[in-house]
Amino acid sequence: MKTPLKLCSVATGLLLLSACGGGSSTHTPSTTQDKPLTCNDTQLVSADGKSCLNVAVSNIAQEYTGTDNDTLRLTITGENLENLDVAVDACESGTVISKNNTTIVYECTPKQAGDTILILNNKDKKVYSQTFTINDKPISKPTSKLTATGMTTCGNDLKNGLPCDSLTGEWKELPQDGLVLAGQAMSYEELMVNGETCIKDNVTGLVWEKKTSSGLHSMDNTYSWYNTDEKTNGGKEGYQNKGTCDGGANSALCDTQNYIAELNKQKYCGYSDWRLPTLNELYSIANYNKIPSISDIFDDVKQDNKQYWWSSTPDNEEPENYVWAIDYYSASTTTYNDKKTGLAVRAVRTGVNK
């Protein structure tokens, strides 16, 4: 028996193949979108959205800056830091100065030293925290035209010469010279002019007389205090030629005024503007870390007994009688009520570093 033919209709000259089971049909499958990456609370999503990144901090470096060391700069190093904000529990007024993937520089004003918490946020979400200790603020070291005192150790109520970092209690808080180290490091050089030697202070610019073992500049010479200038003598001129000195051809040089005049007359070391130093100027060459308490370049200070050196500074309370002098053997000062007392003199002039 023959199978009947299946007829297909023709419409407008087109064969409808689909009705005849001919040709092929097209099937479009449904699409499913990728689910967003989910990271835990302490991770970041990578820029391409395909991975989770761990935040890590390997070091927190500290540095105090500013005129009074009031600003704390933290340099935070680690991994995946570029898009993070910084907060420090013990800080106020914090600012991120710069940041990249491995480093954040952050500045703030610390409320206090001690333990605190560093917090790193990503869009207000905390992704990292770490406890660290804010260091004590260093004591400011003011810039000064004066030399340092030379002290490098500290003391307490029982003992001097202690390491400054060993102090405890109230002694730790005191700004002792050995801790502050204010002033500039001592620096001197000898000047040779016309066969004569004088000493230049490279910090203050002062030029000092260099004493000798004999003659006009002998370290053994002494001079009474004498000053005829009513504006600076404290109301009493003092005494002429009451010291003991080798004045050469002129024996009437054993007081401060006449001795200085002779140095200027002779243009000692090439200069004619020598004068008697002030008390503060005498202090400026003291080195309190040794005995005698003066820089080694001044090797003309007696080592075996006290030797006082006149200043030009009268006492405030009784200037007509008292004038300040310094003892470099122990770096102490005293006043003399009798200006005819014979003391040593080291002349000075204002030098080239004014």
In this prediction, residues 82-96 reach a mean pLDDT of 91
Q: What is the pLDDT of residue 189?
A: 92
Task: Tell me what pLDDT residue 20 has.
Answer: 40
Residues 191 and 294 reside in one and the same domain: yes
Statement to judge: residues 127 and 160 lie in one domain: no
Averaged pLDDT of the chain: 80
Residues 233 and 342 reside in one and the same domain: yes
Question: How far is Cα of residue 320 from the mean position of the Cα atoms in its chain?
Answer: 42
Cis peptide before 292 (omega within 30 of 0): yes
Tell me the residue length of the chain: 354
Check whether residue 172 and residue 190 sit in a common domain: no
Q: Does residue 277 sit in helix, strand or coil?
A: coil
Alpha helices in the chain (DSSP H): 170-173, 177-180, 256-265, 279-283
Domain match, 107 and 233 both: no
Is 47 domain-assigned?
A: no
Query: Does residue 301 fall inside a structural domain?
Result: yes
Asked whether residue 146 falls in the same domain as residue 67, the answer is no
Q: Is 228 helix (H, G, I), strand (E, B) or coil?
A: coil
Task: Give the confidence band of 176 by pLDDT, cuts at 50, 70, 90.
Answer: low
Q: Is the pLDDT of residue 248 over 70?
A: no
pLDDT at 157: 63
**The last residue of a domain, from among 122, 152, 185:** 185
The answer to whether residue 343 sits within a structural domain is yes
CB atoms within 10 A of CB 42: 15
Pair (196, 269) in one structural domain: yes
The answer to the question of residue 44 being in a domain is no
**Dihedral angle at the C-alpha atoms of 214, 218, 221, 224, nearest 10 degrees?**
140
- Whether residue 63 is found in the same domain as residue 117: yes
Do 181 and 230 lie in one domain? The reply is no
Check whether residue 226 and residue 354 sit in a common domain.
yes
Q: Residue 319 sits in which domain range?
A: 186-354
The residue that leads in pLDDT, 331 or 354, is 331
CATH, residue 66 = 2.60.40.10
pLDDT of residue 262: 94
> Residue 9: its pLDDT value, please?
39
Q: What is the pLDDT of residues 20-49, one digit of tens each?
A: 444 444 444 544 456 778 888 888 888 888
Judged by average pLDDT, the poorest of 52-61, 300-309, 335-344 is 300-309
Name the band, by pLDDT with cuts 50, 70 and 90, for residue 7.
Answer: very low
- Do residue 178 and residue 215 come from a single domain? no
What are 83-87's contacts with CB under 8 Å, separation 24+?
A: 83/44, 83/122, 84/55, 84/120, 84/121, 84/122, 84/127, 84/128, 85/120, 85/121, 85/122, 86/118, 86/119, 86/120, 86/121, 87/118, 87/119, 87/120, 87/121
User: Could you tell me which residues are beta bridge partners of residue 119?
Assistant: 87, 129
Nearest to 232 by CA among 165, 296, 312: 312
Angle at 333 between CA 191 and CA 317, to 5 degrees: 120
Residue 185 scores a pLDDT above 90: no
Domain boundary among 185, 219, 251: 185
Residues 236 and 200 grouped into a single domain? yes
Q: Report d(CA 103, CA 152) in Å as an integer.
A: 37
